[in-house]
Amino acid sequence: MSKVKNTLELESAVVKFVGDSGDGMQLIGTLFADTTAYDGNDLTTFPDYPAEIRPPQNTIAGVSGFQVHFGSKKILTFGEKLDLLVALNPASLKSNLKWTKKDTIILVDSDAFDEGALEKSGYSSNPLTDGSLKDRKLIAVPVTTLIKEKTASLGVDNKTALRSRNMLMLGLTLRIFSKKTDYCERYIDKKFGNKGNVAELNKMVVKLGYEYLDQVNGEQYSLYVAPAKLEKGKYRNIHGNTATAWGLMAAAERANMQLYLGSYPITPATEILMELAKHKSLGVKVVQAEDEIAGITSAIGASFAGAMAATTTSGPGLSLKSEALGLAVITELPLVVVNVQRGGPSTGLPTKSEQADLVQALYGRNGEAPMLVMAADSPADCFYSAFMAAKLSVEHMTPCILLTDGSLGNGSELFKIPEMKSLPTIKPPYAQPNTKYQPYERNPETLARYWAVPGTEGLRHRIGGLEKENVTGIVSTDPDNHELMVKLRAEKVQRIANYIPEQEVFGEAEGDLLVVSWGGTKGVVRSSVIEMQKEGKKVSHAHFRYIMPLPKNTEHIFSKFKKIIVCELNSGQFVGYLRATLPQFNYYQANKVQSLPFFIDELKEKYFKLLED
């Protein structure tokens, strides 16, 4: 749709939909994000919702939100200050007003601002009428009244009709940004087509919201974001958990192996299990296990049997899997363990995001049990990180922990779907049939043992959790042999550094300050560094995907900078690892443990302080 006359054109825009949990904020946020992707905008999304299925209504604790940052340029962050806030009740307005700025458009359901709701939200007066929003662009829509009036002809009861309040707000939002309703209408037909008048009701309400803007002098509220200039290809808006599942499937295809997933549902990782369960026709085998331990041990069994094996979890589940992780280490079997991190410890904050499981991934096993550890940096990168985790795990016969987090897993961004032939080949180190096979005979370059799939002629063998004699695999308690095996397993993991890319630096190769990050903080840290560079500061950025082992040139990179600051959403786990691994450097820290992302200005403040000292 062409933009409305007198429309304000933006390079990018940040929109947030908020309301009670259960009001459908995640749905309309996703539909709006998909529409922007369909129109060719680059984007990222940030869902934020409480752990309870239906927490107390009209309370701050019960607010559910979905943020969309889209633009005509590459979008790196979830966005900070809002251009449009859609709030369905007083609590959602109160809890998100701090993210607005002067002239932010605020779209509210005025019917929801009754005395009881205002009191539960902590308001002493009605913000819609007391002048507190005078420097914002307020659109107060009597949503409940409009829906009751316009949908009476459908013969739908009020309760059903009012469930479409979110759709009216979606229609208004689409109109504000000159977006068509076609995509949303197709979704509604597919979702509700067999539910009587429900599809017709929702499409009518979307149209009602779309047309309402013209009744309130809509030109003053119109915004426009042009499509991004994208490389030629096929794109879709993809969630990180979906991308992870696809990456594992792509790896199995490139390795010519069957994919097996043994997992137990846990927030926020369950969607990986759900996505893979859809693809049995592609040969994917999925077992929803009775607990975390059964999930990982079944995956280890599948790996022993010759499958590309994976298990998925979050922090509490990784704790339960720790003994079995040690089994995967000592048997030297490939296994991908995806940990979608959340706030902890214990049950913690199930629907919130942190980077607080790094130390657990590195060291959370008994004995000397090193393994490959990687971290994805964006929802789309979950595809490539999962692919590489599977490739390296198989080719080096080691378990791998892939760290994502709730923001990446539930968030989404534009993803260019790659051609299968463009992905690297994967070569499992199979033992050859009818040879004199020794279970712990190793490839001299990688130190990976050879993979003997049961049933292959002449390759009978045994492995297990007891320490084995080098080469022969006979159970051994010999002290010298145990030390040798410990060193071999550790060296095998370190040699993976020969097969991963060297660490890249964004910016100059030397300077006053190197900003280091890992995992899901890449976008906001990169954006903060770009702003510093525009201000003439000698600041560069090194973002790490490979944690254990570190890329071979890490020490050389660090030596070229006067100061190093490590940014992470925990109390300093990666910086502690760097201090132990490369102790010759002095590291500064930027840490945040609020289950919120970094903001550009708070990072820049730390950079300026270091540059001034």
Taking phi over 0 as left and psi of -120 to 50 as alpha, with beta for the rest, 6 belongs to left
Question: What is the phi/psi pair of residue 341, to 5°?
Answer: -65, 150
Tell me how long the chain is.
Answer: 613
Distance CA 303, CA 296 (A): 10
- Taken in order of first residue, the domains within the chain and their CATH numbers are 8-225 (3.40.920.10), 236-422 (3.40.50.970), 511-612 (3.40.50.920)
Q: Looking at this protein, which amino acid is placed at residue 427? A: K
Distance CA 61, CA 63 (A): 6
Distance CA 43, CA 435 (A): 54
Dihedral sign of CA atoms 568, 570, 571, 574 in order: negative
pLDDT of residue 232: 93
Rounded average pLDDT per 10-residue block, the chain, 613 residues: 71 97 94 96 94 82 95 95 97 96 96 94 94 94 92 81 94 96 94 85 94 79 94 95 99 98 98 98 97 98 98 98 98 99 96 97 98 98 99 99 98 96 97 91 97 93 95 97 98 99 98 98 98 98 99 99 98 99 98 96 98 91
What are 371's two structure tokens?
A: 């393994």
Contacts of 212 (CB under 8 A, 6+ apart): 141, 146, 168, 171, 172, 175
Contacts of 518 (CB under 8 A, 6+ apart): 355, 358, 375, 377, 543, 544, 545, 547, 568, 574
Specify the pTM: 0.94
| Helix residue ranges per DSSP H, 456-514 | 479-494
| Helix residue ranges per DSSP H, 269-365 | 270-277, 292-304, 315-320, 322-331, 358-363
CB 201 within 8 A of CB 171: no
Tally of CB atoms within 10 A around 215: 8
CB 111 within 8 A of CB 142: yes
CB 380 within 8 A of CB 390: no
Distance CA 59, CA 597 (A): 23
Q: 22: which DSSP letter?
A: T
CB 55 within 8 A of CB 83: no
The three-state secondary structure class of 303 is helix
Q: Is 452 exposed, middle or buried (0-12, 13-18, 19+ CB in 10 A)?
A: buried
Tally of CB atoms within 10 A around 281: 6
